[in-house]
């Protein structure tokens, strides 16, 4: 495990400098390095052989969490430890803290970033799944000065694939102010504490004034196609009041239809059972948080 030859290491101070650096190389020959907790593994194993590493650690404009009138923007280079410990991420955004406080280990959370995780989009990862359930928007900038915002539903294309082009940089993940009475939650099960999810479930629900669910999104981690919605279950949560029977019906529908695989971590039936059991716990918590 040792990197192949790297010709150039650059540490730009601004987004404009970073984009100028990446476009000096052919597509794929230069890579952005965020926290490096996944990318460095790929570089050391030579799955990635970048000629140029563009390290984003020096770009202050990519860092930080801002909450303004309820809207949330998290800079791409904001680390897990900063999200997990942020005092304003509750209710609608609480799933972000649920996930980031259990990613990897302390050392990983001190370096790993939300932007690195969503752009890497590993097949079994917590952050893409939570961003998908919470319907985050990925804000991208390109070297020609253009910017675009891509909804989570359109951004995550499958394991290690996203809608980001090689010449685009992720600026931030953002959300408008959530409707009142919105709550979210996430939980995973892995082989050891805080390991990658064998299955992870993220749920967000919005309740009307009478406490009835008016909108729901469910996303799963740990299936072979990567982070994905559980739309069959969403439809069953809407109209309910978060009763255990309704939640079980929703998660049961997702589990029954899930294209679960068997591997050394768990067999397909066990994965489906995890969807049901984690799903009940997570959805119940999301409803509780929506009620405030």
Partner 1 sequence: MPVINVTVNGTRYEENVSERLLLVDFLRDQLALTGTHVGCTYEGVCGACTIHLDGEAVKSCLMLAVQADGHTLTTIEGLGGDKLSPLQQAFTDNHSLHCGFCTPGILMNMSEFLRDNPDPSDDEIRRGLVGNLCRCTGYVHIVRAVREAARVMREQG
Applying CB under 8 A, which residues contact partner 1?
1-9, 11, 33, 36-37, 40-41, 44, 53, 55, 57, 104-108, 110-111, 192-194
Between CA 128 and CA 124 the distance in angstroms is: 9
Question: To the nearest whole angstrom, how small is the minimum distance from the Cβ of residue 234 to partner 1?
Answer: 32
- Find tokens 């990635």 and name the residue: 48
Report the nearest approach of partner 1 to the CB of residue 173 (Å): 23
Beta-bridge partners for 113: 79
Query: Whose Cβ is closer to partner 1: residue 40's or residue 67's?
Result: 40
Q: How far is the CB of 273 from partner 1 (least distance, A)?
A: 25
Residue 241 and residue 174 in contact, taking contact as beta carbons nearer than 8 Å: no
C-beta separation of 180 from 254 below 8 A: no
Between 8 and 269, name the residue whose CB sits nearer to partner 1.
8
Tokens 């430890």 correspond to 81
Rounded Cα distance, 85 and 156, in Å: 26
Identity of the residue, 115 or 230, whose beta carbon is nearer to partner 1 in the bound complex: 115
Nearer to partner 1, 105 or 161 (CB): 105
Interhelix angle for 244-257 vs 268-291, to 10°?
Answer: 140
Cβ closest to partner 1, residue 85 vs residue 179: 85
The Cα 292–Cα 283 span in angstroms is 14
Shortest Å, Cβ 242 to partner 1: 29
Smallest distance, partner 1 to C-beta of residue 203, A:
24
Query: Whose Cβ is closer to partner 1: residue 16's or residue 48's?
Result: 48
DSSP lists the bridge partners of residue 182 as 206
Closest contact distance (angstroms) between CB of 59 and partner 1 is 14
Q: Closer to partner 1 at the Cβ: 79 or 229?
A: 79
Residues in the chain: 292
- Residue nearer to partner 1 on the CB measure, 33 or 258: 33
> Do residues 10 and 53 touch, judged by C-beta distance below 8 A?
yes
Listed as own residue / partner, the contacts of 56-64 with beta carbons closer than 8 Å and 24 or more positions apart are: 56/12, 56/18, 56/32, 56/169, 57/11, 57/33, 58/11, 58/12, 58/13, 59/12, 59/13, 59/14, 59/15, 59/18, 61/14, 61/15, 61/171, 62/15, 62/115, 62/171, 62/172
Minimum Å distance from CB 225 to partner 1? 25
Phi and psi of 32, rounded to 5°? Answer: -80, 135
Measured from the CB of residue 44, what is the shortest distance to partner 1 in angstroms? Answer: 6
Alpha carbons 50 and 171: distance in angstroms, whole number: 22
């Amino acid at each position: 495990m040792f990197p192949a030859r790297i010709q150039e290491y650059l540490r730009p101070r601004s987004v404009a400098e970073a984009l100028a650096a990446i476009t000096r190389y052919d597509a794929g020959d230069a890579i952005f390095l965020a926290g490096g907790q996944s990318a460095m593994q790929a570089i050391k194993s030579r799955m990635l052989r970048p000629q140029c590493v563009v390290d984003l650690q020096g770009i202050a404009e990519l860092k930080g969490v801002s909450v303004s009138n309820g809207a949330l923007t998290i800079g791409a280079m904001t680390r897990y430890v900063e999200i997990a410990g942020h005092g304003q991420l509750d209710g609608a955004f609480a799933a972000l803290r649920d996930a980031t406080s259990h990613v990897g280990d302390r050392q990983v959370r001190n370096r790993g970033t939300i932007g690195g995780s969503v752009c890497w989009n590993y097949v079994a990862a917590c952050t893409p799944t939570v961003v998908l359930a919470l319907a985050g928007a990925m804000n991208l900038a390109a070297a020609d000065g253009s910017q675009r915002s891509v909804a989570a539903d359109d951004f995550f294309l499958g394991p290690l694939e996203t809608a980001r082009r090689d010449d685009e940089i992720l600026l931030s993940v953002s959300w408008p102010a959530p409707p009142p009475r919105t709550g979210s939650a996430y939980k995973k099960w892995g082989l050891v504490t805080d390991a990658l999810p064998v299955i992870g479930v993220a749920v967000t629900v919005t309740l009307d004034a009478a406490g009835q669910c008016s909108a729901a999104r469910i996303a799963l981690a740990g299936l072979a196609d990567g982070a994905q919605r559980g739309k069959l279950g969403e439809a069953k949560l809407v109209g309910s009041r978060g009763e255990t029977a309704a939640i079980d019906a929703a998660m049961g529908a997702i589990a029954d239809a899930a294209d679960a695989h068997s591997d050394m971590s768990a067999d397909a039936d066990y994965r489906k059972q995890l969807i049901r059991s984690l799903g009940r716990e997570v959805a119940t918590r999301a409803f509780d948080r929506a009620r405030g």
